[in-house]
Each structure stands twice: as structure tokens, then as C-alpha cells.
Amino acid sequence: MQIAEFEPVKLIKSSKNLLVLAVISALSFGCINDDKNNKEERSLSGSVAKGIVKNGTVTAYPLASDGTRGKTAVGTAKTADDGSYKLALTDDYDGTSPLLLELTANSDTTMVCDALSGCGDTPRGDDIPLADTDFILTAVIPSGRAKNGAKVDTAITAFTSMAANRVVSEGNISDSSIRATNSKINELVGVNILSTNPVNIASKDDLSKAAPDEQRYAIMLAALAEQAFTGIESRVIALK
């Protein structure tokens, strides 16, 4: 069994000189490119976290086998104050292709600082404004998960972004390649990165009420934030 090292997540600066987390790591070998008719409601729901992301925009796109993102969105939603979202898929999505979920920032988007030592000038537990930044989180799910009438739990986090970027960079995207890559990141984190919803680790009340896997997910995300904001040279170890 080979052990592969991946570079730590990097930092970017907004025009307001506020540090925010960019989740493009060395797992991101490539990028996602830009390029009817089920009547039963199909929906995706979950939590968005890096810290918890409030008022972010979640958009769903079909994803082609070559990594090309569909030009037309097939669903959109906003995240609530607890990072949760519910997105109804439109009839334009025929269910035959994988789905790419993108979380982007708008003028009202903020992220809870979950790093133990704080996030630059922002104390742990306070909100970081993400307006005027290129902050993005992604997730890719297999086509079979969003069937007629299905309600699918799909978290969008730094770890789902790692999996999505790796799937796209390797090309020849299929349901099996998506599952295999997500499984590798599941092993790294110790939870199912798509079906587990991380909680706000900066809230003692939320943390105490959470299930063990939700707590672990939040702790792992906070560890990434701590690494990024403190400049620790530790690396993420993953099974390859």
C-alpha cells in the first residue's frame, strides 16, 4: 500500500485583506470547465462548511465524462445560518450524468471561523465576510443518487472539494470513479464526506448535540483551518 502526501490547503486574500481559506490543494490537479424530463421532485440537501458557510449560493450542474461542466444550472439554493441548504433539481436534469455542486460567495456570504487559534484577525466563532473573494467549495455525486423523488443528503466541504477536483483532473469521469475517489477521502477523514453533515464546532451547544461522525467531520475541517491560518507545515496523508 502506497502512502501519498498532499500539500496543505493554501490561503488567499480578499480585497478587504481578510484571510479566507482556499480549498485548492495538490489534490486539485485540474479544474472544472464550462461548456428532459422527470416530473417528480428530486432534491439535494446538506450542510456547507469550511467553517459553516452562511448565505452562500449552491448551484447544481450536470457534469460530462470529460469534466466539462454543463452550461445550464439544474438547481440553485442559498445556505441558512447553520450552513444547511435544500436544492430542488429542475426538469432539465435527466438523471443520466453525475452532478457538480458549487458553493460560491455573494455579497452577503460569511463563514464561521473554526480554527482554534482564530483566522487572522477574526476570533474563533466569529464570522468572516466572503464578499469580493473567489471562495468556492465543490462536490461531485454519481448520477444514480438523484433519481425520481429522491431526497439526497450531500455535504459540500473542503474534503468534498478535494475529491471533486481529483475526479475531474483524472478525466474519464464515471459513477464508479466518483465513488472510488470519494471513498479514498472517506478513509482520510474517517466519515462519509457526502452523507455526513458537519456541525458548527465553534458552538458548544451544536457540538454537544451532534452525532459522533458529525463531530469528527467538524474537527477535521477545523484542523485544516488551523493548519492554513497558522502556517503549520504539516501535510495531509491519504491512502493512494
pTM of the model: 0.79
So what's the pLDDT on residue 150? 65
Q: What angle do CA 53, 57, 63 make, to 5 degrees?
A: 115
- On average, the pLDDT of the chain sits at 80
Residue range 197-212: mean pLDDT, rounded: 93
Q: Which residue has the higher pLDDT, 148 or 82?
A: 82
pLDDT band, very low/low/confident/very high, at 229 (cuts 50, 70, 90): confident
> How many Cβ atoms from other residues are within 10 Å of residue 33's Cβ?
12
* Distance in angstroms (rounded) separating the CA atoms of residues 237 and 196: 21
Q: Which residue has the higher pLDDT, 190 or 40?
A: 190
Tens digits of residue pLDDT in 76-86: 999 999 999 99
Q: Give the residue from 26, 99, 67 showing the smallest Cα distance to 172.
A: 67
Domains identified in the chain, total number:
1
So what's the pLDDT on residue 8? 36
**Whether pLDDT at 104 is above 60:** yes
Residue 156 near residue 101, CB atoms below 8 Å: yes
Give the neighbor-by-neighbor strand order of the sheet with 136-141: 75-78, 57-62, 99-104, 136-141
Set of cell numbers at residue 130: 466572503
Which domain range does residue 167 map to?
3-239
What 8-state DSSP symbol labels residue 223?
H
What are the DSSP E strand ranges found in the chain?
A: 3-6, 10-13, 19-22, 33-34, 43-49, 53-54, 57-62, 68-69, 75-78, 84-88, 99-104, 110-112, 127-129, 136-141, 151-153, 156-157, 236-239
